[in-house]
Amino acid sequence: MNTVLVGAQWGDEGKGKIIDILTEHADFVVRYQGGNNAGHTVVVKDKKYIFHLLPSGILHPGKICCIGNGVVIDPAVLLEEISSLIDTGISVKGRLKISPLAHVIMPYHKILDQLKEDKRANKIGTTNRGIGPCYADKINRCGIRVVDLLNPKLFAYKLEDNLKEKNEIFKKVYHHPGFSYAQIRRQYLEFGKKLTPFISPVHTELQEANRCGKNILFEGAQGTFLDIDFGTYPFVTSSSTTAGGACTGSGLSPAAMNKVIGVAKAYTTRVGEGPFPTEFDLTFGKFMREKGKEFGATTGRPRRCGWFDCLMVKEAVALNGITEIALTKMDILDGLKEISVCMGYKYKGKIFKSFPADLTVIKEAKPVYKKVAGWPGKSCRVNQLKDMPMQARSYLKYIEDNVGARISLVSVGSGREETIFLD
């Protein structure tokens, strides 16, 4: 059984927690897109781990964790993540595999990300990790791949070629001094040496594992509405965050995928700029941000908060082929008198019942809400659905009916055990 797990909103839905739980039934866990713009939190016995590049299944001994070709890797961040995990007594030896085809985030990508963002009139609010510029080089066919770090001659040639053009852009466009060839060359060849024990042809290994009937779990990063094609462009990330990305980013064919799980929060959050129809007003937004501890796991930035949007999640169900929903942070809605659910967008007298493609509509539309009853404080922190207040169960049923996929799991806290499985 091969499962793809994706975020159904704008990221930070709680994918890390759900991957950690599902890893119990998996043999392989695979990151297939994005890079260290991701911050996936796993809480085990009150200890909090935040993974940026390592798959969130890594805490389970014996499970093979892969970083696929579709990921962009900042070697310094990855090596740091590996060493801090080793410091906590968790071994990655023999079970961390990095695709030689994955692209490498270079120092100039990170600076370019910042300089481009500073210059933009309509800021995206990127994580400044160099993600966009690295993917741009990949598509532009001048990127540097993990395999290149193992070939000093080829690496030197590629680096020189890149710096020739980039240093000119840095100087002329951004009045930045640019980068030293010798320093980067030395540093990145050293990274190559350190990563060598982990480099392995992930795509062929996954194909072989699939042939042998192993269970492979694909860990999406970001969320459906940050997808380069289907997200709220240009306020998106630079990769395919939707389920199709799992195939192109890992080398396993669509025919091998059996199940798609969409992770959605019981409300909505977004970090960075871009339209957000159901966003709360300032005061309630601040209240919910504190209540839900909505601060970025990667950048620490405050997350914007809003009501659950059925149009968005219904669109995510369609785009990803979501068969099941894992609904997280249900406990954060505890104690609210009334809860709103967005059922449509009103724009120029017209009601949209499905997520519009036009950014202007998304930006200017007024949400049409259905108000449902809330439930008393702390009452969702239970172990079984039957112990949840009736209003909370109705809320879940209402969401299922309106997004077109069943909820198979409800999360009511950050810990592993704070999870309710539905049949």
List, by residue number, the catalytic residues.
12, 40
Q: What would the 3-class secondary structure string for 34-46 be?
A: CCCCCCEEEEECC
Neighbours of 121 (CB within 10 A): 4
What x/- string results for residues 2 through 31 when contact with ligand IMO is judged by CB under 6 A? -----x--xxx-------------------
CB of 334 to ligand IMO, least distance (A): 23
What x/- string results for residues 52 through 81 when contact with ligand IMO is judged by CB under 6 A? ------------------------------
Residue 348 Cα to chain centre, angstroms: 34
User: Tokens 């598509």 correspond to what residue?
Assistant: 139
CB of 7 to ligand GDP, least distance (A): 6
Residue span binding ligand IMO (CB under 6 A) among the ranges 33-41, 67-75, 308-316, 389-397: 33-41
Select the binding partner of residue 272 from ligand IMO, ligand GDP, Mg ion, none (C-beta < 5 to 8 A, by kind).
ligand IMO
Cβ-based nearer residue to ligand IMO, 42 or 382: 42
Residue span binding Mg ion (CB under 5 A) among the ranges 37-45, 260-268, 347-355, 415-423: 37-45
Cβ-based nearer residue to ligand GDP, 12 or 81: 12
If one asks whether residue 39 binds Mg ion (CB under 5 A), the answer comes out as: yes
CA-to-CA distance for 82 and 395, rounded, in angstroms? 41
Phi, psi (degrees; rounded to nearest 5) at 37: -75, -25
Cβ-based nearer residue to ligand IMO, 11 or 55: 11
- The CA distances from residue 295 to 37, 105, 291, 304, 375, in Å, are 14, 25, 11, 9, 25
Select the binding partner of residue 226 from Mg ion, ligand IMO, ligand GDP, none (C-beta < 5 to 8 A, by kind).
ligand IMO
**Contact present, 98 and 146 (Cβ < 8 Å):** yes
Cβ-based nearer residue to ligand GDP, 70 or 192: 70
**Contact present, 53 and 97 (Cβ < 8 Å):** no
What x/- string results for residues 255 through 284 when contact with ligand IMO is judged by CB under 6 A? ----------------xx------------
Out of 38, 134, 246, 412, which residue is the one contacting ligand IMO (CB under 6 A)? 38
Out of 125, 285, 302, 321, which residue is the one contacting ligand IMO (CB under 6 A)? 125
**Contact present, 284 and 346 (Cβ < 8 Å):** no
CA-to-CA distance for 65 and 54, rounded, in angstroms? 8
Question: Would you tell me which residues interact with ligand GDP (CB under 6 A)?
Answer: 7, 11-17, 39-41, 43, 297, 328-329, 331-332, 411-414
The distance in angstroms from the start CA to the end CA of the chain is 18
If one asks whether residue 131 binds ligand IMO (CB under 6 A), the answer comes out as: yes
If one asks whether residue 34 binds Mg ion (CB under 5 A), the answer comes out as: no
Q: Which two tokens mark 312?
A: 């968005």
Q: Which two tokens mark 201?
A: 């042809």
Looking at this protein, which amino acid is placed at residue 253?
A: S
CB of 331 to ligand IMO, least distance (A): 19
Q: What would the 3-class secondary structure string for 317-383 be?
A: HHHHCCCEEEEECHHHHCCCCEEEEEEEEEECCEEECCCCCCHHHHHHCEEEEEEEECCCCCCCCCC
CB of 131 to Mg ion, least distance (A): 14
Residue span binding ligand IMO (CB under 6 A) among the ranges 43-51, 123-131, 190-198, 400-408: 123-131
Select the binding partner of residue 412 from Mg ion, ligand IMO, ligand GDP, none (C-beta < 5 to 8 A, by kind).
ligand GDP
CB of 251 to Mg ion, least distance (A): 25
Out of 12, 113, 227, 309, which residue is the one contacting Mg ion (CB under 5 A)? 12
Out of 21, 22, 39, 78, which residue is the one contacting ligand IMO (CB under 6 A)? 39
Q: Which two tokens mark 336?
A: 């609210």
If one asks whether residue 126 binds ligand IMO (CB under 6 A), the answer comes out as: yes
- The CA distances from residue 140 to 116, 134, 135, 162, in Å, are 17, 10, 8, 11
Q: How many CA atoms lie within 13 A of 44 on its CB side?
A: 14
If one asks whether residue 13 binds Mg ion (CB under 5 A), the answer comes out as: no
Query: Any residues with CB less than 8 A from the CB of 166 and at least 6 apart, and which?
Result: 108, 112, 178, 179
**Mode of pairing for the β-strands spanning 366-373 and 350-352:** unpaired
What is the footprint of Mg ion within residues 274-303 (CB under 5 A)?
A: 297
If one asks whether residue 222 binds ligand IMO (CB under 6 A), the answer comes out as: yes
Residues that bind ligand IMO (CB under 6 A): 7, 10-12, 37-40, 124-127, 129, 131-132, 221-223, 226, 237-238, 271-272, 297
